[in-house]
Amino acid sequence: MKATVHELDYKGSGRAEVWRENEKGNLKKLKLTIPQTLPGEEVQVTVPARRLKRWRTDADKIIAAHEERVEPPCPHFVKCGGCVWQHWQYEGQLKAKTDYVKRALENVNFDPSLVRDTLGMEEPWHYRNKMEFTFAPDGSLGLMEQGNFRNVIPLETCLIAGEDMVKTAMETAEWAEEYALEGYDKEEHTGLLRHLMVRQSFATGEIMLGVFATESPEGRLKEAVNAFVKRIENKFPQVKSIMWLENRDWADRAQSEETHLLSGRDFIYDEMSGYRFRLWFDTFFQTNPLQVQKLVDLALEMAEPKKTEKMMDLFCGVGTFSLPFADKVGSLAGIELVESSIASARRNAEENNVNNTIFLANNAREGIEQMLESFGRPELLLLDPPRSGAGGKVMRKIGRARPERVVYVSCNPDTFATDIKELEAFGYELKTVQPVDLFPQTVHVECVARLERKDS
Ligand SMILES: C[S@@+](CC[C@H](N)C(=O)[O-])C[C@H]1O[C@@H](n2cnc3c(N)ncnc32)[C@H](O)[C@@H]1O
């Protein structure tokens, strides 16, 4: 059948509708989801004869292509789940992201003209500072196939990861092959090597490698593991940390039950806004450092922090926003759920001689109450919640705390829109929203927004 894509869904796939006659001669609508297509494209698809309401299928042929369609540069594109929009000119991706943020705000009756154009990257490739590769049962290393988490695509390249990170991953793959080390079989729960985590600081150049495996690096593996360390140390002096992370859990997550330091230190140094951060293998840190720097700068510009003011940084992580803001306010209180991130935020503040911060490990809901009692009412509040958003209860607590200005950093326009709607009842007005492209070639978009209390 022929179909015309009328819009994209939230995962970046095309949506189309076709009408078919049923056995009684009545016309019935079939809703199609067609990945790797673009709005307005006319495509040819094959649909099953049986009655269906929805069907997901690749296009057999693009009959009329979008003028911004380009040849995807990565050989893994389509199969690998990392990128979904490599077939779309970057300018088109950016415009789609702006429209998405506008739609999310319009859905809850905000003025979409408050949304500025998405701030893109000059070079939207090789931006990721952390990657997780997977070992297949035969020991080869690669990327997980989209929609089929049992299949691993052997790694040839990755155009969104840092280039040195890919090189160290390829070297690890060669080592595993040379020693004929078996990979982990997720169905049988047998085998040795599970994941390879590579993270790099683009500011300092330092790299960390973390091998997740089901056995200790001692005993039968000692010779192979020693050879791995020598090989990496000789070829990649920028690797400052090699970790062996034992994980026997059945769940398919890169986690560690026992941690072994094979070489260097158990963390690497990164830098953001002129501050030094220590990153351990499990530290959350923003994955596109170039764009995050723009995000932090924008947040500073929008927030207009003052030396006379108190500030609260909700969902503060290791202090990516806290440290640069602390320099511009009287005192800053950071709240974050994960204890190790708070420990890291405290250490980062100390190492950078930032002395006007306090950090609390608690969930945002209780943390706000606790901080209001001990720290007092902040004039400025920044929040940067996970994709699920802050939620009504937290937003209402923010409203009752009455900060003069709220700066909301969001990685999900939909939860952002519903969250800030809650603040209207407390007299807040949305002033401006700046989307920033932290994740080129994917559908994701980050935003930073300013809200003001009207009577402040
Ligand atoms: C998008 S990250 C932002 C982290 C930090 N602002 C940064 O830029 O590195 C969201 C953070 O919220 C934390 N978090 C998740 N749920 C939370 C909750 N209920 N209360 C407090 N923090 C939470 C996560 O651990 C994570 O560090």
Which of 332, 337, 394, 398 for mutating ligand 1's site (highest number of atoms within 8 Å of CB)? Answer: 337
Q: What's the ipTM? A: 0.99
The answer to whether position 227 is within a domain reads yes
- The pLDDT of residue 251 is 85
For residues 116 and 146, membership in a common domain is answered with: no
Q: Report if pTM > 0.90.
A: yes
Distance in Å, CA 386 to ligand 1 centroid: 6
Number of domains forming the structure of the chain? 3
The answer to whether position 212 is within a domain reads yes
Going by alpha carbons, the residue nearest to atom 13 of ligand 1 is: 315
Quick one: which H or E segment has residue 42?
Answer: strand 42-44
* Domain endpoint, select from 52, 67, 82: 67
3-state secondary structure (DSSP) of residue 9: coil
Annotated active-site residue in 83, 158, 316, 411: 411
Report the distance separating Cα 78 and Cα 75, nearest Å.
9
For residues 105 and 143, membership in a common domain is answered with: no
Helix residue ranges, H only, 304-412: 322-326, 339-351, 364-374, 392-401
What range defines the domain where residue 344 resides?
95-122+288-453
pLDDT tens track, the chain, 456 positions: 999 999 999 889 999 999 998 888 889 999 999 999 999 999 999 998 888 899 999 999 999 999 999 999 999 997 888 899 999 999 999 999 999 999 999 999 999 999 999 999 999 999 999 999 999 999 999 998 877 778 898 888 999 999 999 999 999 999 999 999 999 998 899 999 999 999 999 999 999 999 999 999 999 999 999 999 999 999 999 999 999 999 999 888 888 899 999 999 999 999 999 999 999 998 889 999 999 999 999 999 999 999 999 999 999 999 999 999 999 999 999 999 999 899 999 999 999 999 999 999 999 999 999 999 999 999 999 999 999 999 999 999 999 999 999 999 999 999 999 999 999 999 999 999 999 999 999 999 999 999 999 987
Helices 392-401 and 413-424: crossing angle in degrees, nearest 10, is: 40
Nearest to 443 by CA among 47, 18, 87, 17: 87
Laid out side by side, the sheet with 14-21 consists of 7-8, 14-21, 27-34, 54-56
Q: What is the CATH number of the domain that holds 185?
A: 2.40.50.1070
